[in-house]
Amino acid sequence: MSVLVVGTTALDSIKTPTAENPRLLGGSASHAAVAASFFAPVKLVGGVGEDFPPKYLALYRRHHIDLAGLQTMPGKTFHWSGEYESNMNNRRTLATELGVIETFSPTLPKAYQSVPFVLLGNIAPALQNHVLNQMTRTRFVVADSMDLWLNIALPDLLKLLKRLDGFVLNDSEAHQLTKTDNVFSALKKIHALGPKYVIIKKGSHGSILSGPKGFFICPAFPLSKVVDPTGAGDSFVGGMMGYLAAAKGPVDVNIRRAMVYGSVVASFCCEGFGLNRTTKTRHGDIKKRVKELEKLTRF
Amino acid sequence: MSVLVVGTTALDSIKTPTAENPRLLGGSASHAAVAASFFAPVKLVGGVGEDFPPKYLALYRRHHIDLAGLQTMPGKTFHWSGEYESNMNNRRTLATELGVIETFSPTLPKAYQSVPFVLLGNIAPALQNHVLNQMTRTRFVVADSMDLWLNIALPDLLKLLKRLDGFVLNDSEAHQLTKTDNVFSALKKIHALGPKYVIIKKGSHGSILSGPKGFFICPAFPLSKVVDPTGAGDSFVGGMMGYLAAAKGPVDVNIRRAMVYGSVVASFCCEGFGLNRTTKTRHGDIKKRVKELEKLTRF
């Protein structure tokens, strides 16, 4: 089955203590769509400006991503620039130019509306709701978000939460949303807002699922060098949704393994700037790291 | 086989946002010895003052801990008081009164010197070296430490590291010792200082082992309420050493499971002030949580 991915399609200028890379392909939808494409056909919903480099369209196409839902609009592509500290955990936004994304309000192509697996990647929750309104036969809907929307669009986000099967957020966002420091009591409070599956991402510490079958402690793949963590969270949820769309059987049974696959795709994402390393990854590389994670966690 | 445990035997006055508990039984050796006692006979090395409450001696005895190496000296017992913030991760030392520990330099009872499993719990590295000098037939020697010793006794600690089989430290100490932010590259640098087994503790995120058989990602048991994390790290390493001393076969084969048992004992430690919850734990409770952790990590 296919995965519909909506989110930002952006240009990222990323600075780390050792390097600087301007105008890379980035955005939540780009990372999630490429990650999902390793497992299942992907339909992308996004908006770019006239300055969007054709080579990035070619990159999507190499991953067999359906671009019927990618609109090119008059104006500039969303551009984010940020800087990482040496521990690669703390990042600082240097500039955000919304460009065409500011007025983006997509009408989905007919063929998109019946896609069963829907990933509402990080973008304004009003837009996530708007996309979801157009879907007719969803089987599993997951959304990601960020602190910005908790701050400036909480009512829209709370409305969205009631409509989701799964919600993915990081630990600091979980604390912000629930006013709870403890991850496990935060999870309970987030379930009460709607989603049956809640996943809290903890970066290099892995992630925690709380679902109908209880908790799952999902490991992160050990990396001794992180080049650029931008998009790792999007790659995680993209890989997970791609795996789920391709797997036989109920979500309940497959979601743990799906998270591990997502975690591995995220590890490749961290090993290069932007999508540089992810796009060079082969399915065999992913399988190999999943096997390694099995060994690394067995006792 | 037995475990020798040396470290501080202290009185802890602990303040959290919701409660205050003065003069609890604490110290690295107390937590580690009680944790180890669930699995193997324990011989304790420590020094207390004349003010040490007899009820705490009774507590050690209830755990069948050999007290031939516990000296009572003229003066006061080491007293630490500290305060936790609401997230239970950041703590602030309010006062440290060294008391008798300042001049403590134990001569081990004869029966202690041939114990095969040695846990050098957190205390001055000069004293850890001094105890190790008296051991004649060690099979597996592990030390724990803290930021204080990295700051004021690094040469002694580096000398100790060369003599250890295993070293346990937390992530911030690993960064301090190696000037490396990445846990996995820090592990490599710590191996170069001596120990074949290095374990980095990450609190509620679990721990990481690096040993002859590679990495092991050890989970923490999910707790939705942490009452007092003081001594959790000591309980972890104590439980691990107790399990190893009791298990048949080589350390290499048993250490992953030993860490999981240690992790579970640490989870009980966090559920009460001081040793209140740990001492109420039964072996069956520990086994049950280990089984749960197996389920929580399987994919």
Instruction: Tell me the pLDDT of chain A averaged across its residues.
Output: 96
Instruction: Please state the rounded mean pLDDT for residues B167-182.
Output: 95
d(CA A140, CA A118): 6
Adjacent-strand bridge partners of B45: B6, B69
Q: Which residue has the tokens 């952790």?
A: B293
Q: What is the pLDDT of residue B87?
A: 75
Residue A88 has pLDDT above 80, yes or no: no
Q: What is the pLDDT of residue A89?
A: 72
Q: What percent of chain B has pLDDT over 70?
A: 100
Q: Do A297 and B184 touch (CB under 8 A)?
A: no
| Interval B44-72: pLDDT, tens | 999 999 999 999 999 999 999 999 999 99
Q: What is the pLDDT of residue B234?
A: 98
Provide residues of A within 8 Å CB-CB of chain B.
86-88, 181-185, 188, 202, 204-206, 208, 214-219, 222-226, 256-257, 259-260, 293-299
Chain B CA closest to residue A189: B224
Adjacent-strand bridge partners of A43: A4, A66
Q: Do A256 and B298 touch (CB under 8 A)?
A: yes
Chain A CA closest to residue B90: A181
Q: What is the pLDDT of residue B28?
A: 98
CA distance A38 to chain B (A): 20
Within 8 A of B185 by CB-CB distance, chain A residues are 224-225
Residue A240 has pLDDT above 90, yes or no: yes
Residue B116 has pLDDT above 80, yes or no: yes
Instruction: Please state the rounded mean pLDDT for residues A256-271.
Output: 98
Chain B CA closest to residue A209: B296
Could you write out the DSSP letters of every residue in A93-148?
Answer: EEEEE-GGGGG--PPPPGGGTT-SEEEE-SS-HHHHHHHHHT-SS-SEEEEE--HH
CA distance B242 to chain A (A): 17
A135-172 per-residue burial string, b: 16 or more CB within 10 A, e: under 16:
beebebbbbbbeeebbeebeebbeebbebbbbbbbbbe
| Interval A142-187: pLDDT, tens | 999 999 999 999 999 999 999 999 999 999 999 999 999 899 999 9
d(CA A294, CA A284): 15
Chain B CA closest to residue A211: B296
Could you list the beta-strand ranges (E) of chain A: 3-6, 10-15, 20-26, 42-49, 65-73, 79-84, 91-97, 117-120, 140-144, 166-170, 197-201, 207-211, 214-218
pTM confidence score: 0.96
Closest by CA position to B238, among listed B4, B18, B78: B4
d(CA A42, CA A64): 7
Residue B175 has pLDDT above 90, yes or no: yes
d(CA A55, CA A93): 26
| Interval B3-40: pLDDT, tens | 999 999 999 999 988 899 999 999 999 999 999 999 99
Residue B86 has pLDDT above 90, yes or no: no
Q: Do B298 and A88 touch (CB under 8 A)?
A: no
| Interval A37-57: pLDDT, tens | 999 999 999 999 999 999 999
| Interval B193-211: pLDDT, tens | 999 999 999 999 999 999 9
Q: What is the pLDDT of residue B17?
A: 87
| Interval A180-230: pLDDT, tens | 989 999 999 999 999 999 999 999 999 999 999 999 999 999 999 999 999
Give the pLDDT band (50/70/90) at residue B291: very high
Q: What is the ipTM score, two decimals?
A: 0.94
